[in-house]
Chain A
Amino acid sequence: MSTESLTAPTKDSPIPKKISANSAVIRVAKFTAIRILTMMITVAIGVYLTILIANMGGYVDTIMRNEIREGTTMKILADPTLRNITPEEKQKLIQKKIASEEKRLGLDQPFAIRSVRYLGNSLILNLGRSLHMTSDHGSKEVRLILLERLPATLLLAGVSQLFLFFGSIFIALPLSRKYGSWLDKLTIALSPTSAVPGWFYGIFFILIFAAILKVLPFGGLVDSPPPTNSFDYGLNVLKHLILPALSLIVSAIFLSIYSWRTFFLIYSSEDYVEVAKAKGLPPRDVENRYILRPTLPTIITNFALLVITLWTGFTITETVFVWPGLGITLFRAIGAYDTPVIVGSTIIYAYLLALTVLLLDFVYALVDPRVKVGAGSPQ
């Protein structure tokens, strides 16, 4: 089977093979180095901007200072063991406590220095300790706080997005070959429903399944108190997963099927597909070899971008369903002015994004013979 002859005609290269292989390695290495460097700079700028915004021009510092002052003063004035000392000594003690607390939070240094230190630390993934938030086990390590929330987000986002991705491709592929059928028309007619976000369907699902029918829980990860044996625990989590996952899926599925179907249609009207059909190849082979294969780069890009969204979680859907994932954690961190958690979440997202974009360049070259790494963008 000579698909190459139809898609990318091979030319006889006048350059000897050995030299071209060598130069290819150099080219790839150079390209990779430059790409990594620009990515790092991009990530650094993005994260620094986030740090600046998370500080709001010193406004957050003022809030924190006031909170420390108030908290420490109250604590010392209310402390029964310190009742016997004189007011002057008490004042001194308060000042000392405030100074040490400010030092703990790094407030004794100017913001310019602190922000650069933050940036350096976060770039080497030293996420540090949170200001207020604690993980369920009581730790203040940002890393642990985020890690603890990761499974819940991965469960919700993973189940819904993977289902959505593969589901819509597998529905779209046969649909694209039967375009004009009533099923196809139904998909087109339903695709505007994706203008409505997932959390919004969530509200309706809560209304129907939790409030009226009372068959599924309103929200949360497990019942309280949680079941003791792990099998029941798993089942219980699954029961809580249904509504949020369903709302994420329903909100996107029709548009997703529609766009994949359109995309496949454009490719299946190519001449080489017609040739394959004319040769009498079975539909399955036509789909797999002649339609899926040239569309692979796009499918991979979409999959990679999907993997990134898994990390951010779905802040609002998680909020509506009180799902203890990363999205809701970020939201709470902002509410608690907890800069390290905000920055930590951002940096991981930024790194994942940069890494994905970088990897995509190579994956393209692997799956598409027309693309060469570092050879400049095709015209």
Chain B
Amino acid sequence: MTALKNTFRELMQYPSAMIGAVTILFLLGVAAYALATIPYDEAVRLWRGGEDVWYQNPKYAAPSWYNLFSKTKKPISFKVSTTEGDMTKTVTPASADISAVNIDYSFEYEYDTPPQEMTLYFTTTFEKKLPFAAITLLTPDGRKVKIANIAVDRKTTYRTSQDLKLQKTLKTEKVMNALFQNPDTGKVAKGTYQLVIEGTTFESKSDMDVEFVMHGDLYGLAGTDKYRRDLFLPLLYGTPIALAFGLVAALGTAFLTMIIAAIGTWYGGWIDELIQRITEVNLVLPFLAILIMVGTFYSRSIWLMLGLTIALGIFGGSIKSYRAIFLQSKEASYIEAARAYGASSGRIIFTYLIPRMIPLLIPTLVSSVPGYVFLEASLAVLGLGDPLLPTWGKVINDAFTDGALYQGRYYWVLEPAVLLMFTGLGFAMLGFALDRIFNPRLRDI
């Protein structure tokens, strides 16, 4: 316990170690939050979901904070609906059957460019007679534009910019420009817009609900990709996956390697010989090529890749350095004492040989995490990422295959890249400081 306290006190003296530790704690917090809010299956369903899940989002939208760094303010997407109560809906019965459903929504529009699209998703209930809706837009410069008069079926989608009738009345194909620009100045009219839907139902049990979605150029905290998916999902959910991959691979490889090295040195003879020969064969095997082959031919599951990484990593080069240290500590007097009182080989290996090594192991372990986190990302960049899970590497791969850098969609690549870098540097900084604390030869240097 005091040893732990001392270590901690020493760590406090390294600012980089503290930055690293805080980064790791933050990432662990994010991972816990992600797992608590989105169950595994839900994350997979959302990530694999197509238009039906993500229809409310614009394509290729940059994140909302883009406006902070740009002179021309671009519109931020939003969605409102009567069912969730953020759009006001009043039903006034006019007679036994007929009633008026008035829905309206006012929104502030302080941007410099018109939005991409305004879409209305109607959901109605009726027996025979279709309800009717008259849609109007009131602009801040005092115009009142009649957008459409339509009969709405049970599920009706109305896309403003694709309405041919509206294009004709506005005498332009750029409906959004005509709606949002002041015809006198040609600039976007800023202020409060009001969307008014005057609906009429013709049956006593008939009802109408609307979802209003505006596709701007920006969306949410992280933006969206080619498939309208909110990038916040993979960025958030990629954290537990990256950490799990990195930590499990680092821990698994380090401990198994050490146990094997300890067994080899303790028993010696043909066991030791065999372990050394396996290490040499393993050195010849092309590690990345094998991962790529298994990914291409067999399965791209991240858990299989994890298992394979550990399996190929166990007999790595570090087995030799562990062996050298075990050979020394094998001759120590406390081992002799243990042998004298009749301790079994297993007991000596697991309670005397290995625990002494753990302080030496910790820095290596922490420093090796980034390598594995980036390995997962590397496989994803080669197109061998897990097909189901949202990961950071997968986002980079999607962006690359879509030519995001050529098209200037930097946010798509930068967001996961910065997170990866953050993770890598966090572990590396902590591991570095730990190395200097636990490794007496480096202490004064």
For chain B, give the interface size range: 35 or more
Given A192-B432, A354-B284: A211 touches B406 (CB 8 Å cut-off):
yes
Contact A335 B296 (CB under 8 A): yes
Contact B281 A45 (CB under 8 A): yes
The one of A195, A207, A334, A335 that contacts B428, using a Cβ cutoff of 8 Å: A195
Question: Does A316 interact with chain B (Cβ within 8 Å)?
Answer: yes
Question: Does B358 interact with chain A (Cβ within 8 Å)?
Answer: no
Contact A320 B381 (CB under 8 A): yes
Interface string of A16-53 (1 = CB under 8 A from B): 00000000000000000000001000110111011001
Contact B374 A197 (CB under 8 A): yes
**A196, A330, A354 interface centre (most CB from chain B within 10 Å):** A196
Which parts of A166-205 form the interface with B (CB within 8 Å)? 179, 188-189, 191-197, 199-200, 203-204
Question: Does A111 interact with chain B (Cβ within 8 Å)?
Answer: no
The one of A195, A196, A319 that contacts B382, using a Cβ cutoff of 8 Å: A319
- Which of A72-80, A237-245, A343-351, A368-376 lies at the interface with chain B? A343-351
Question: Does B25 interact with chain A (Cβ within 8 Å)?
Answer: no
Question: What CA separation (Å) do A197 and B288 show in the bound complex?
Answer: 14
Given A42-B284, A195-B424: A59 touches B298 (CB 8 Å cut-off):
yes
Task: Provide the main secondary structure of the chain B interface.
Answer: helix
Contact A42 B277 (CB under 8 A): yes
Contact A342 B441 (CB under 8 A): no
Residue of A nearest to B400 (CB): A320
For chain A, give the interface size range: 35 or more
Question: Does B408 interact with chain A (Cβ within 8 Å)?
Answer: yes
Question: What CA separation (Å) do A81 and B67 show in the bound complex?
Answer: 65
* Cβ contacts under 8 Å, A335 to chain B: 296
* Cβ contacts under 8 Å, B292 to chain A: 315, 330-331, 334
* Cβ contacts under 8 Å, A354 to chain B: 284
Task: Provide the main secondary structure of the chain A interface.
Answer: helix
Question: Does B199 interact with chain A (Cβ within 8 Å)?
Answer: no
Question: Does A60 interact with chain B (Cβ within 8 Å)?
Answer: yes
Contact B285 A46 (CB under 8 A): yes
Q: How far is the CB of B427 from chain A (nearest CB, A)?
A: 7
Question: Does A54 interact with chain B (Cβ within 8 Å)?
Answer: yes
Question: What CA separation (Å) do A345 and B283 show in the bound complex?
Answer: 15
* Cβ contacts under 8 Å, B16 to chain A: 189, 192
Question: What CA separation (Å) do A188 and B17 show in the bound complex?
Answer: 12
Which parts of B351-406 form the interface with A (CB within 8 Å)? 367, 370-371, 374, 377-378, 381-382, 396, 400, 405-406
The one of A203, A210, A316, A349 that contacts B286, using a Cβ cutoff of 8 Å: A349
Contact B370 A196 (CB under 8 A): yes
* Cβ contacts under 8 Å, A331 to chain B: 292, 382
* Cβ contacts under 8 Å, A207 to chain B: 405, 410, 413-414
Question: Does B130 interact with chain A (Cβ within 8 Å)?
Answer: no
Given A262-B445, A331-B292, A346-B286: A56 touches B297 (CB 8 Å cut-off):
yes
The one of B281, B296, B428 that contacts A46, using a Cβ cutoff of 8 Å: B281
Question: Does B417 interact with chain A (Cβ within 8 Å)?
Answer: yes
Residue of A nearest to B282 (CB): A46
Question: What CA separation (Å) do A334 and B298 show in the bound complex?
Answer: 12
Q: How far is the CB of B355 from chain A (nearest CB, A)?
A: 25
Residue of A nearest to B423 (CB): A195
Question: Does A218 interact with chain B (Cβ within 8 Å)?
Answer: yes
Interface string of B14-58 (1 = CB under 8 A from A): 001000100000000000000000000000000000000000000
4 additional contacts (CB under 8 A) given A192-B428, A196-B421, A200-B377 = A45-B284, A203-B413, A316-B378, A346-B285
A/B interface sample: 25 pairs, CB < 8 A: A42-B284, A46-B283, A46-B285, A49-B281, A50-B286, A53-B290, A59-B298, A179-B445, A192-B16, A192-B429, A195-B370, A195-B371, A195-B374, A196-B370, A199-B378, A200-B421, A203-B413, A315-B288, A319-B382, A320-B381, A320-B400, A334-B296, A346-B285, A346-B286, A350-B284
